[in-house]
Amino acid sequence: MNVLKTTTLLTLMTVLVIFTAQALGFDLIFSLFLAFIFNFIMYFYSSRIALASTRARKLEDGEYDEIREIISFLAQKEKMPMPELYVIESDQPNAFATGRNPKNSAVAVTTGIMKVLNRDELEGVLAHELSHIKNRDILVSSIAAMLAAAISFMSRMAFWGGGQRDRGTHPVIILIAFIAAPIASLIIRLAISRTREYGADKTGSSISGNPLALASALEKIEMYSKNPLNVNPAVSQLFISDPLKSFAGSGLRKLFSTHPPTKERVRRLREEASGIRYR
C-alpha cells in the first residue's frame, strides 16, 4: 500500500513538472537535466552533508557496544552490509539513517535515545532505520527532490523573465504554474516523506518482530521531543521523529510536516501487533 501511494505521488509530481514546463514555456528536457545534475551530486554526497550538519561523530570501538550489537544482529538477519555507526551529542532521543544504497550507508543515534529507551525499544528504532536503507528511501527522496527542483527552477526563471509565454497560454494557467505548482510540489514531496515513514515502521517492526516495542519507543521519543536538537531543516526528514517539532507551530503543521503524527504511527503498529483495528 505504501509503495503504491509513493508511486502515485511521484507520478503526480511528474505530471506537475510537465504542466509547469508547458505553462511557463520551458524546455522540459533541459529543466529536468539541470535538476538531475544537481540531485545527482546531492545523491552521492547527501550522507556526508547530513552527518556533518548534525555534528555526528563516528562511533569508536568499545563505545556504546549495545548499539553495535543490535545493528550487527539485525543486519545479519536481513543479509545486509553493516552500516557505519555515528553518534550525536544531544539529549533529544532520535536517530536517522542515510546512504544511497546498503553498501554505502550510515546510522546515527543521539546520546539521548540511549538514555531513554530500553533494549527492545532500541532494536525497534534501529530496525526502522535499517528499513530506510533496505527500502532505498534515499533514492526515492532523491527522485522527488529532482522533480521538485525542476519546478522550482522553472518558477524562478519565469520570475526573471525566462520561458516563452507568448504562445497563447491563459494568464490564469501561468499564474497557477508560477505560484501554485511549487507549493503543490512541496506538499507532495512531504507526503512522500510521511509515506516512507509509515513504510519503514511496517518493515522495521517486521524485521524486529516486535511492533509494540517500536510503538513504545515512538511514544517515549515524542515525550522528550521538547529537548532542543538544532539541525538544518533540509535533513530533518531523515530522523525517525521530527527533530524540529519543538519549534513547529500549529495550523497547517500536518500538511507541511515531514513526519506523520506519532499517535497515528503508534495506532498502526498496535493494530499490526494485535490484528485489532484501533480508532
- Asked if residue 79 has pLDDT above 60, the reply is yes
Mean pLDDT for all residues in the chain = 81
Q: Grid cell 539513517 — which residue? A: 97
**pLDDT > 70: percent of the chain:** 76
- Which residue type sits at 163? G
Model confidence at 279, pLDDT cuts 50, 70, 90, reads very low
The predicted model gives 94-118 an average pLDDT of 92
Lowest mean pLDDT among 130-134, 158-162, 236-240: 158-162
Per the annotation, the verdict on 129 as an active-site residue is yes
pLDDT confidence tier of residue 233, bands split at 50, 70 and 90: confident
* Res 81: pLDDT: 95
* pLDDT tens digits for range 132-158: 999 888 777 767 776 777 777 777 666
Mean pLDDT over residues 119-138, rounded?
A: 93
Q: Output the nine-digit C-alpha cell for 72.
A: 550487527
Nearest Cα to Cα of residue 119 among 74, 62, 81: 74
**Domain ranges for the chain:** 2-274
Q: Which residues contact 223 (CB under 8 A, 6 or more apart)?
A: none
Spot the catalytic one: 129, 219, 264, 271: 129
pLDDT tens-place string over residues 173-220: 666 666 777 777 777 878 888 888 999 999 999 999 999 999 999 999
pLDDT of residue 161: 56
Nearest in space to 159 (alpha carbons), one of 182, 136, 139, 126: 182
pLDDT score at 62: 86
